A = this chain, B = another copy of it.
Amino acid sequence: MRIALVGAGNLATNLGDALVAANHEVLQVYSRTWESAETLASRLHCMAVTSVEELVLDADLYIVALKDSVLEEILPRLVQGREQALWVHTAGSVSMSIWENRGVKHYGVFYPLQTFSKSRNVDFSKIPIFLEANLPSDLYRLKGLAASITDKICEADSKQRASLHLAAVFACNFTNAMYVISEQLLKEQGLSFDALLPLVNETAAKVHALSPLEAQTGPAVRYDLGVINKHLAMLESHALYRDVYEQLSRCIHYEQTNIKKDDKL
């Protein structure tokens, strides 16, 4: 398949690498800014374009990996004159219905569930890709494409994908926010975040064997007010972190007392 990549962000960069490694023909990279387009295009040995008009008309597949707000705005101009191709977007939170009434017949979603940074290459073969398509024949084509870069091909409708994306924000983005807070707190005592890496590893490894609910430890689950109050006092000069600590301790306490009870009903 001859592919045009619309977007040059974290996801487009990692996906582009995986597609080229799997010997797909990536024709062009589009980005509004020349620097982003050029950086990724030269990495993939293809052409950089910064206006929709320069985008090839005869690609087989257009992969649109743009910020949700930009996607909505640019879509009409993107598909114009390219209605015969297969169009997919890569956003967890955008419904497949965004392609409806655009004059396009072949469309779907190609959602790799992972956290991507330009500065870090990930092993795509372990990333689940959630697919959705308007036509069974297009789902089949997308499965073929996905199979060339990963072993984990899944189907999800738009509602399920939205839930996956929301859950991923908690499991990844908010988890990383916890790491940032840890790092800041340690920095103040002249300690390195590295001291926590074995703990970070085990916390992630643990939920492969135990359910997250069973894996929970710490002062909040024991409702150890002595420790909780000591910690809140230590956070006195960090109003934001103090609020996070209080709220998440409440959340853990709620989960441990309520979810388990419900599950046993």
Contact residues of A with B, CB < 8 Å? 10, 67-69, 72, 93, 113-117, 119-120, 122, 126-128, 152, 154, 156, 159-160, 162-164, 166-186, 188-191, 193, 195-204, 206-222, 224-227, 230-231, 234-235, 240-241, 243-245, 247-248, 250-252, 254-255, 259
Contacts and interface: CB of A to CB of B under 8 A. Distances in A.
Contacts of A69: 224-226
Nearest to A196: B171
Most B Cβ at <10 Å: residue of A113, A177, A193 = A177
Given A171-B196, A177-B248, 10 more contacts: A93-B231, A119-B214, A160-B189, A168-B199, A169-B219, A173-B218, A176-B215, A183-B213, A200-B204, A200-B207
Nearest to A255: B180
Q: Which 10 A-B pairs have CB atoms at the shortest separation, nearest pair first?
A: A173-B218, A179-B212, A204-B204, A167-B182, A171-B182, A163-B189, A180-B212, A172-B203, A170-B178, A170-B182
A206 B166 contact: no
A207 B191 contact: no
Most B Cβ at <10 Å: residue of A160, A199, A222, A250 = A199
Nearest to A253: B177
13 contacts: A68-B226, A117-B210, A120-B206, A154-B195, A163-B188, A169-B231, A170-B178, A171-B182, A171-B200, A172-B200, A172-B217, A203-B204, A244-B247
Contacts of A254: 240
A216 B93 contact: no
A50 B152 CA distance: 51
Contact of A120 (B162, B201, B210): B210
Contacts of A184: 255, 259
Each complex incorporates copies of this chain amounting to: 2
A195 B129 CA distance: 10
Most B Cβ at <10 Å: residue of A68, A159, A195, A219 = A195
Contacts of A152: 198
Contacts of A200: 171-172, 175, 204, 207
Contacts of A174: 178, 244-245, 248, 252
A191 B163 contact: yes
A213 B181 CA distance: 9
B199 A113 contact: yes
B93 A198 contact: no
A263 to B, nearest CB: 10
Contacts of A120: 206, 209-210, 215
